[in-house]
Amino acid sequence: MIASACRLHSLRAFSLLEILLVLGLLGGIVMALVVLFPSEIKKEKEGEETRSNLIASGVMEALTPSKRDGFFRLASAMHDGLPVWEKLSQNDLTNIAIAYDASCEPVTKLSLAEAELPVAQQNATDIIRLSLISNSSIPGMLTAEVAVSSPASAPSEQRTIRRYVRVISLP
């Protein structure tokens, strides 16, 4: 009876070698995660920057004034997979805000007050603010500034903002 109790006790216990082996494996996994974590943050930041560049270049490309009526066209949303275009006058000083999704497509137009708050739409990742500025010292030229801020789910003071500027020649 005593022999069987000793055998039962020895089956339930871990040896010091087993404990050290498990602690070593756990330490290796933790170290691997610690090493990978900063590189993942860097990749995420690079992804945000790439998305900002794509959104800004898409907006800047759209800002070509029509030779027919002098209006600019800017996609302010998507409907059935097609952009919803908005006309912008070169005579108006424009300050417009639009939410974009992760695939660099416009989601919805926002008021300037809504653009300061966290955007409630789940698919909105970035917010652009477009400003068209007339420069009286250079006639026939217009300055376009696109400010891309992310994440859209954060208040404006907690977003990362990237600014892009282009000078546009008017017809």
pLDDT at position 148 = 93
pLDDT at position 90 = 64
Q: Is the peptide bond before 155 cis (omega within 30 degrees of 0)?
A: no
Could you say which residues of the chain have pLDDT below 50?
A: none
pLDDT at position 35 = 78
CB 100 within 8 A of CB 125: yes
Integer Cα distance of 139 and 6 in angstroms: 98
Q: Where are the domains of the chain?
A: 36-169
Do the bridges between strand 141-150 and strand 124-134 make them parallel or antiparallel, or are there none, so unpaired? antiparallel
pLDDT digits (tens, 9 = 90+) for 51-79: 899 999 999 888 877 777 777 888 888 88
In this structure, how many other beta carbons lie within 10 angstroms of the beta carbon of residue 1?
4
Q: Where are the beta strands (DSSP E) in the chain?
A: 72-79, 82-88, 94-101, 106-110, 124-134, 141-150, 160-169
Residue 149 token pair: 């801020």
